[in-house]
Amino acid sequence: MGREWTALERYYNKFNEEKRLDSRHGQVEFVTTMRYIHACLDDIGGKSILDVGAGTGRYCVPLAEEGFDVSAVELVRYNLGILKAKGSPVKAYQGNAMQLRRFEDGAFDLTLLLGPMYHLFTFEDKLKALSEAKRVTRPGGRILVAYCMNEYCVLTYAFKEGHIRECVTGHRLTEDYHAVSSPEELYDYVRLEDIDRLNDAAGLTRRKIISPDGPANYMRPVLNAMDEETFRYFLDYHLSVCERPELVGAGAHTLDILDRE
């Protein structure tokens, strides 16, 4: 008998992450994240990158094609197969963000965790992933970590999509409206103070934290209806405000930019 797929594997066998990042709202996230990746690499003179939870290679493939030395780890075999089929210079492996034993201490200038924290449901597991990213990043390097944010989940799923009563009665929200997630729901949601506790426990220092998508996910039909010139204005606006503290945490994701001291 063949190996039984996990719920996460079944999900990503059907979910098209590349299509999401090619959509208008996904372009906002992708362009913003790539801008900060390049800024970090320029700042530290980085050449070597590890992309942990690389998916189908939306970030690691173009970075490798730019000439960076890129390694990638992906848990889901289906995604890994798509990544490898692209024929890029990426050195791609199947693996787990919490166990990066394949790689030596301090092997990379820049480590990306742009997906694993979405699917880890305990503080301990998140800390393992963050600590492993720290271990394989050289002193003076950077770690970029993406999270799914609590308020976007509550506003969209609970209120906009009409699930608030079942979330409350099913104890999927705390009294102060923090989402309570489980592996069956696939995604975990955090607030800024949750991220701060992880950084403190891992001994990592924040350089900055940004909103890579800002209001884009709330505005999908509006973005889709924009002409190209208007969309370019929106993207320029977003890039000018994505570090503003009053916006960080309100969008669907945050991108935490950490120094490996």
Asked if the model's pLDDT at residue 68 lies above 90, the reply is: yes
- Residue that has been written with the tokens 């944010």 in this structure: 149
Q: What confidence tens digit (pLDDT) does each residue in 176-197 have? A: 999 999 888 899 999 999 999 9
What distance in Å separates the CA atoms of residue 149 and residue 171, rounded to the nearest whole number?
A: 18
Q: What is the mean pLDDT of the chain?
A: 94
The reported pTM is 0.93
Asked if the model's pLDDT at residue 217 lies above 80, the reply is: yes
Asked if the model's pLDDT at residue 22 lies above 90, the reply is: no
- Amino acid type, 118: Y
Please give the pLDDT value at position 185.
85
Q: In the β-sheet with 253-260, what is the strand arrangement from edge to edge?
A: 91-94, 69-74, 48-52, 108-113, 137-148, 253-260, 205-210
Beta-carbon contacts of residue 34 (< 8 Å; ≥ 6 apart): 59, 62
Please give the pLDDT value at position 3.
46
Name the residue ranges covered by the structural domains of the chain.
7-149+190-260
Q: What confidence tens digit (pLDDT) does each residue in 98-121 have? A: 999 999 999 999 999 999 999 999
- The CATH code of domain 7-149+190-260 reads 3.40.50.150
